[in-house]
Amino acid sequence: MEKPILSVRNLNIKFNLRGRTLHALRDVSLDLYKGESLAIVGESGSGKSVFVKSFMGLLDANGWVDSGEILYNGEDLTGYKKEKQWLGVRGKQIAMVLQDPMTSLNPLKTIGAQIMEAIELHQGLHGEEAREEMLSVLTDVGITEPERRAKQYPHEFSGGMRQRVVIAIAVACRPQILICDEPTTALDVTIQAQILSLIRQLKQKYNLTTIYITHDLGVVANVADRIAVMYAGDIVEIGLCEEVFYDSRHPYTWALLSSLPQLGVKGEPLYSIHGTPPNLFNEVKGDAFAPRNPQALKIDFVKRPPYFEVSPTHKARTWLLDPRAPKIEPPEAVRKLATEGVKGYA
């Protein structure tokens, strides 16, 4: 890891919904290092998408950065007021691949035309040069017969191929950072594996920094150098991939890992987190996960925990790491993950 390419400092993001204010991100900080692959995991509604959208000026119109900084190349992106300023970042510097490739493609234009457009806009190439680059990008993402394929429309492609095209367009812009929000959820495992290995190759070829958002912890184990775990608008734990899988410290991370079907015992109920996440219209007190944590400490309901360092690369926001806290062991399933791992197939 080198120096940070992107630094987020104490970011607070709010939304206005029918006159009420929802506090979606609560004082989040993060350093993203050049060339790394960061995975963001966490419950539905915890703020993963809002967080990365804020790097590209893509928050919905009813949302705003309330305070904090997003430093990219020494510049604070939260100061951008005009759409024109964002156009210099969006796609060019930071590109995004979304869950449903159909929403990112224009059904009325050929695949080739859409990739050419991106190349002309971002690389300044034109005519024959742009066309050649387009064909080479299609080859890059593993589409055979690019000449014929370029003339086709999105509906003539399968789901996996469409997702490759969206990645092709994102990469054609030669961004520094590639964000993938649930890039493979709609795909089956063999195609998912191909797309993940494609992103990995492109990452090496172009020295990309990548951020993955996914609910699939198997995918996380595959792609991540580092993992950030989000809960209720906050990063509650962050560390190297191995640190989070094998030595997690926050009770929410424990609960998340325990719900994995791979750690369940057949014929017995699967672990599930009871209750619901906090209502972000109200002010969250203490540790946001406390009401759902059967082993919560008294202080968890009163005071928000700071980050405690587990290693120079690993920290977690939980009072359990305070030297005065009682010793609470992670659940058995989580310990087993560290000692035995999960079963694959023979």
Partner 1 sequence: MPENKELLLAMPENKEVLLSVRNMSICFGKGKNLFKAVKNVSFDIFKGETFGLVGESGSGKTTIGRAIIRINPTTSGDVIFKGQKINGKISRELDRKVTREIQMIFQDPMASLNERAKVDYIVSEGLLNGEKISEKVRRDRVEKALSEVGLLPEFASRFPHEFSGGQRQRIGVARALIMQPDFIIADEPISALDVSIRAQVLNLLSVLQKERGLTYLFISHDLSVMRFICDRIAVIHKGVLVELAETEKLFAHPLHPYTRALLSAIPLPDPAREKNKVLEVYDPTQHDYSFDQPKWVEIEKGHMVWGNEKELAKYREMLKA
Summarize as ranges the residues that interact with partner 1 (CB under 8 A): 43-44, 158-160, 185-193, 197, 215-222, 224, 241-242, 245-246, 255-257, 259-262, 264, 266-267, 269-273, 337, 341-346
Written as one letter, the residue type at 329 is E
134/220 with CB nearer ligand ATP:
220
Verify binding: residue 209, Mg ion, rule CB under 5 A. no
Minimum gap (Å) between residue 48 Cβ and ligand ATP: 4
Binding mask 27-56 for ligand ATP (x = CB under 6 A): ---------------x-xxxxxxx------
208 binds, among ligand ATP, partner 1, Mg ion, none (CB under 5 to 8 A by kind): none
24 binds, among Mg ion, partner 1, ligand ATP, none (CB under 5 to 8 A by kind): ligand ATP
The structure tokens listed for 172 are 């054609």
**Binding to Mg ion in span 49-78, by CB under 5 A:** 49
Q: Which residue is nearest to Mg ion (CB)?
A: 49
Q: Which of 37, 5, 4, 19 is nearest to 227 (CA)?
A: 37
Minimum gap (Å) between residue 214 Cβ and ligand ATP: 9
Minimum gap (Å) between residue 159 Cβ and partner 1: 6
| Binding interface with Mg ion (CB under 5 A) | 49
| Binding interface with ligand ATP (CB under 6 A) | 15, 17, 22, 24, 42, 44-50, 60, 62-63, 280
